[in-house]
Amino acid sequence: VNWNDTKKLANVKRSSNMGATTSKYSHSNNDFELAIRSSKELEHILDTEFGAQGKGLHEKISSVQSDLSQELIRNMRYLATIRNKLVHEHDFNAIPERAKFISKFDKSTVELQKAVEERRRARGARTTDACIIS
């Protein structure tokens, strides 16, 4: 995972454009783009760092939920639900609370990064503490 790209996606800047908030990564105020790119980024992290299985973000979260905090699971499920509604429900055409969506994405990427770093430290600790028999 390229955490610099994730940080770009999570790095939210406030826009004076009618009170909208935008992600630097999305380069637009398009809610569909924001929701889909956010979901794709989270799915990628879950796939590559946690070995998640499944078709979409909800399934991937379920496959690795034992490795995640309840708050992280709730935040990512919220994001997945909004994304799914945008894509699949005819009359759902905007993120209801855009700032809340971006905040939950930002919190999710930060917490995922911490979890990945903890996993890497734990693997490193196991490797250095291991007994080698030859």
Cβ atoms 56, 43 nearer than 8 A: yes
Tell which wins on pLDDT, 22 or 87: 87
Name residues whose C-beta falls within 8 Å of residue 61's C-beta, 6 or more positions apart in sequence: 46, 52, 68, 73, 76, 77, 80
The 3-class SS string of 45-104 reads HHHHHHCCCCCCHHHHHHHHHHHCCHHHHHHHHHHHHHHHHHHHCCCCCCCCCHHHHHHH
**Region 93-117 average pLDDT:** 94
Mean pLDDT of the chain: 81
Containing 23, the helix (H) or strand (E) segment is strand 21-23
Containing 36, the helix (H) or strand (E) segment is helix 31-50
Q: According to the model, what pLDDT value does residue 22 have? A: 42
Check pLDDT > 60 for residue 18. no
CB atoms within 10 A of CB 85: 15
Tell which wins on pLDDT, 131 or 84: 84
Query: Tell me: the pLDDT tens digits for 32-91?
Result: 999 999 999 999 999 999 999 999 999 999 999 999 999 999 999 999 999 999 999 999
**Which of 118, 126, 102 shows the shortest CA–CA distance to 24?**
102
Say what the pTM is. 0.74
Residue 28: pLDDT band with limits 50, 70, 90:
low
Residue 123: pLDDT band with limits 50, 70, 90:
confident
Containing 13, the helix (H) or strand (E) segment is strand 12-14
Residue 130: pLDDT band with limits 50, 70, 90:
low
